[in-house]
Structure 1
Amino acid sequence: MTDILSPRPFPPVVVMGVSGSGKSTVGELLASVTGAPFVDADDLHPEANRRKMAEGRPLDDDDRAPWLTIVADRIRDAGDESVVVACSALTRRYRDVLRQGDPRLLFVHLTGVHELVERRQKARKGHFMPSGLMRSQFATLEPLADDEAGFGIDVDATPDRIVADVVVRLESEHGARADA
């Protein structure tokens, strides 16, 4: 993909989904294609959260609260400019916190079957979240509600194809257009 979306800004975008769904890969590529900055919310986790996940223990709401506030602040810091954030955003409540950063926030939910995501998680090397926590993520996941801005994209495609589909949606729904 070599097209760049213009004009900017389009709404800030959170690429969401369970661990292993491809949030960081898709988010980085989408940011590159759109010319927007990229933020990986995993990089903003406090060290205590990283240790807990590395030990195979799922995070609870008390663990996530300060982290989500940090992510919302990064979205707010973008101001009127676009930003692409990779963040699990598993529940409506978590997404509501992120929307405090910018009420225009658009969610791109990477959806996929458990088996595909599990294969991807097991293939990852050096990530602080072990694949054994996948079940807790799927159990926690609340798909986007009808009144939430965003849409789902099946992850059973290449990252380029997924991003191309997202770009089409941004072009058609948010007034951006692709320039070659």
Structure 2
Amino acid sequence: MTATRAIVVMGVSGSGKTSVADGLAAALGTAFIEGDSLHPAGNVEKMSRGVPLTDEDRWPWLDTIGQALAGSLDAGKSVVVSCSALKKIYRDRLRQSAGGALTFVFLKGSRDLLTARMAARHGHFMPASLLDSQLATLEDPSGEAGVVTVGIDAAVETIVARALDGLKTVG
């Protein structure tokens, strides 16, 4: 990575945000921040019970992620963060926090594939029952400036490679 850059790997639960973001960070030689680890305990508890988050629940979490992005950029360090960033207003808030120097990698997949992935994972607080609410909330960012859209119907290594290729064409 030649220039300081902040990248948010986004998508609904089950899309592979953590795995892809970790792979991108390793390939780019940057820090990786797991956005889920920044959720307030109340959010995690709520989602664990199968209750969707509201915008009011998400704002403090998004602000914490925004501060992490800004902190890295202010220190002259690139960073990759995983964050669902489902709505355009959420992405715009993160862009503002990062001073506009923000690229998104949107992991896109079918409901069937996402459901299968969520059913196969263990130990995650987000139940598969919340997938439909996430899909209903998602405002597809494909076509927004600074967004790379990558299909998730491949191995993680392939998805990371496709994301890296896409990142060469934006920002």
**TM-score, structure 2 normalization:** 0.94
Distance 1:81 1:93, change over 3 A: same
Contact 1:8 1:81 in 2 (8 A): no
- Cα deviation per residue 1:21-76 (whole Å; 9 max; x = unaligned)? 00000000100010010011100000000000000100001100100000000000
User: Percent identity, aligned pairs only?
Assistant: 43
1:7 maps to amino acid: T
Deviation readout 1:88-135 (Å, 9 max, x if unpaired): 000001111111221111011000000000000011111011010000
Larger Rg: 1
Which residue in the other structure is 1:90 paired with?
86
Partner SS, residue 68 of structure 1: helix
Which residue does the alignment assign to 1:46?
40
* Corresponding residue of 1:121: 118
Structure 2 counterparts to residues 1-180 of structure 1, below 5 A: 6-9=1-4, 11-79=5-73, 80-102=76-98, 103-144=100-141, 146-174=143-171
What are structure 2's unaligned runs of at least 5 residues? none
Q: Distance in 2 between matches of 1:129 and 1:147?
A: 27
- Cα deviation, residue 172, structure 1: 4.2
Could you list the structure 1 runs, at least 4 aligned residues long, displaced by more than 6 angstroms after superposition: none
Q: How many residues align?
A: 168
> What amino acid maps onto 1:70 in structure 2?
T
Q: Aligned AA for 1:83?
A: V
Separation of aligned partners in 2, 1:163 and 1:121:
19
Q: Report the CA distance between 1:169 and its aligned residue.
A: 2.3
1:20–1:118 Cα contact (<8 Å) kept: yes
* Structure 1: 5+ residue stretches without partners: 1-5, 175-180
Superposition deviation, residue 145 in structure 1: 5.6
